[in-house]
Structure 1
Amino acid sequence: MKSLFGSITDLSKFFINQVIEPGDYVIDATAGNGYDTLFLANLIVDKGKVFSFDIQKQAIENTKKLLSKKGIMHRVNLYHTNHIYIKKYVHNKIKAAMFNLGYLPGSDHSIMTRGESTIIALKQVLELLLPGGIVSICLYYGHPEGKEELKEVFSFIKTLDYKIYNVLKIDYYNKIHNPPILIIIEKR
């Protein structure tokens, strides 16, 4: 029997799915293996655009291969760069952004997201975010830098003005071994 809650990424997609419409502009700040980029590309259809970033060449190649196989590469702009450069490439207001923090599964685990760059990227995304838009952040913190990044992200989101943003934290209360945490930020 499938769990009602699913995975953290399933929950993230549930929230994202509530706000995106065909024609929207969206960001995948951490392309990884391309599954979130694919999810976003299917929601915006041929009218919008997904801006997808990753610092690892392997992640960009994996994402490009997946999108090409599905015939929707034209819906996405891929950037082989750190997500701290989002505003260099994205000039449109966006409806949503997704972050999966940690490292690329099946790759070099020494290459991972870090709190400092994540906060820089989050600030840029929040500037671009339209009212009614959301940002999802899946925090995987069971790796060497993960706990520090988690602490930095929590410190940052606590500073967000409650008159402008709603911030929701979802975690697995009874799971062990650093279960992932989901943060949803909604711009009012």
Structure 2
Amino acid sequence: MLNRVLDQSKQFAYDILHPHSIAVDATCGNGNDTSFLLDHISKGKVYAFDIQSEAIESTKEKIAHHKNLEQLTLIHDSHENVLQYVDKHIDVAMFNLGFLPKANKTITTLSHSTITAIEAILSQLSVGGRIIITIYHGHENGKDEKRAVLSYAEKLDQHFFNVLMYRFINQINDAPFILVIERRRSSP
């Protein structure tokens, strides 16, 4: 059976994670991806970002008793500032675009900061590394962000990046989908 979108986003990350990975959860939200990354990174580092205090607190609660807490840096800042905090090659980055579930739906990710973050992460993405972006586009900002992110990703040089879209084409109501950007080789 085909994986649901959230399960598949984790599978795309799991396939390349190793204990020493450097990972970014660009939108830590309720802490699910942060917890998942910590489950698989025992000697590397996980950097988890969110602009909302509520998301940072929710993530802290989710991972409070995690065995790999020393591998985590929680950052109350926009993902567009990722390079101010991460100065290493990045193996995996995960984004969930949209708004924090069960929170203020007027606070959403925005195309400008998201593309700035993607560009920054691409500049440090390891060969074979992946950016996994789950796009929720059932709201106005989400529609704009979807268009902008797809437009950006479609222009990435195929000699250096593979870009994959994973989506169910027969689902209604603007079902979320995944975009995966994988570095094939180093840029010149």
TM-score by length of 2: 0.95
Rounded Cα–Cα distance in structure 2 between residues aligned with 1:6 and 1:166: 21
Secondary structure (helix, strand or coil) at the match of 1:172 reads coil
Rounded Cα–Cα distance in structure 2 between residues aligned with 1:80 and 1:112: 15
Post-superposition Cα deviations, 1:107-133, rounded to whole Å, max 9, x if no partner, equal 000000011110000000111110011
> 1:44 and 2:41 equivalent?
yes
Percent identity of paired positions between Structure 1 and Structure 2: 40
Post-superposition Cα deviations, 1:34-56, rounded to whole Å, max 9, x if no partner, equal 000010111111x1110000000
Secondary structure (helix, strand or coil) at the match of 1:19 reads coil
Q: Which residue of structure 2 lines up, in the alignment, with residue 116 of structure 1?
A: 112
Post-superposition Cα deviations, 1:111-160, rounded to whole Å, max 9, x if no partner, equal 00011110000000111110011110000000121110000001100110
Q: Which residue of structure 2 lines up, in the alignment, with residue 56 of structure 1?
A: 52
Superposition map of 1:110-149 within 5 A:
110-149=106-145
Q: State the 1:70 CA deviation.
A: 2.7
Q: State the 1:69 CA deviation.
A: 2.8
> 1:186 and 2:185 equivalent?
no
Rounded Cα–Cα distance in structure 1 between residues aligned with 2:3 and 2:56: 26
> 1:33 and 2:30 equivalent?
yes
Contact 1:139 1:180 in 2 (8 A): yes
Superposition map of 1:78-89 within 5 A:
78-89=74-85
Secondary structure (helix, strand or coil) at the match of 2:64 reads helix
> 1:95 and 2:57 equivalent?
no
Q: What code does the residue aligned with 2:32 have?
A: Y
Contact 1:115 1:152 in 2 (8 A): yes
Q: Which residue of structure 1 lines up, in the alignment, with residue 10 of structure 2?
A: 13
Aligned structure 1 segments of 4 or more residues deviating by more than 6 angstroms:
none
Contact 1:64 1:73 in 2 (8 A): no
Q: State the 1:170 CA deviation.
A: 1.1
Contact 1:95 1:129 in 2 (8 A): yes
Secondary structure (helix, strand or coil) at the match of 1:145 reads helix
Rounded Cα–Cα distance in structure 1 between residues aligned with 2:59 and 2:66: 11
Q: What code does the residue aligned with 1:49 have?
A: K
Q: Which residue of structure 2 lines up, in the alignment, with residue 168 of structure 1?
A: 164
Contact 1:28 1:51 in 2 (8 A): yes
Rounded Cα–Cα distance in structure 2 between residues aligned with 1:43 and 1:71: 11
Secondary structure (helix, strand or coil) at the match of 1:138 reads strand
Rounded Cα–Cα distance in structure 2 between residues aligned with 1:16 and 1:86: 19
Rounded Cα–Cα distance in structure 1 between residues aligned with 2:131 and 2:63: 22
Aligned length: 184
TM-score by length of 1: 0.95
Rounded Cα–Cα distance in structure 2 between residues aligned with 1:100 and 1:170: 14
Stretches of structure 2 that go unaligned for 5 or more consecutive residues are none
Q: Cα RMSD over matched residues?
A: 0.9
